[in-house]
């Protein structure tokens, strides 16, 4: 007798669930995937823009504190442009950078796994060189794989 029973069939009929849902629940359920796709990219952009405006405000305050407005307006403008470009580039390239990091990480993991598999194959091959039964099993497996 088995203690592990997994039901893979649906226990609720989708039509019955749809009947008992209110109109608002149906609209919310239909709009939820689209809302998740839209909200995620805006959140980092908004935080970067807020941080950038805070940095620009701090720079402006510091500049007004330390200078006497004697022809240093081009310097302030340059600083503001540089910081605006920096935060805009972070905001624009954060998602591609995250994707690139994820791709590099997955490629590194794949390389590590392939190296581990190669080391395991080398150990099995060296053991098969010493044991005729293991070599026969490997020969049969390679023959079966080539068919």
Residue 72 maps to a domain: yes
Between CA 104 and CA 122 the distance in angstroms is 27
How far does Cα 57 stand from its chain's mean position? 32
Residue 7 maps to a domain: no
Range of the domain at 103: 14-146
Exposure letters 32-48 (e unless 16+ CB within 10 A, then b): eeeeeeeeeeeeeeeeb
Residue 3 maps to a domain: no
Number of domains in the chain: 1
Residue 1 maps to a domain: no
Q: What is the pLDDT of residues 73-132, one digit of tens each?
A: 776 777 677 777 777 776 777 777 778 888 999 999 999 999 999 999 999 999 999 999
Global confidence as pTM:
0.41
């Amino acid at each position: 007798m088995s203690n592990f029973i997994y039901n893979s069939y649906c226990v609720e009929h989708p039509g019955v669930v749809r009947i008992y849902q209110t109109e608002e629940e149906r609209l919310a359920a239909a709009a939820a995937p689209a809302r998740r796709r839209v909200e995620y990219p805006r959140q980092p952009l908004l935080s970067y823009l807020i941080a950038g405006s805070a940095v620009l405000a701090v720079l402006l305050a510091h500049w007004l504190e330390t200078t006497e407005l004697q022809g240093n307006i081009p310097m302030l403008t340059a600083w503001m442009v540089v910081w605006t470009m920096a935060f805009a580039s972070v905001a624009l390239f954060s998602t591609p950078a995250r994707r690139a990091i994820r791709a590099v990480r997955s490629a590194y993991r794949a390389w590590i796994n392939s190296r581990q598999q190669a080391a395991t194959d080398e150990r099995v091959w060296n053991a098969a060189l010493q044991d005729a039964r293991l070599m026969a099993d490997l020969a049969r497996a390679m023959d079966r794989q080539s068919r």
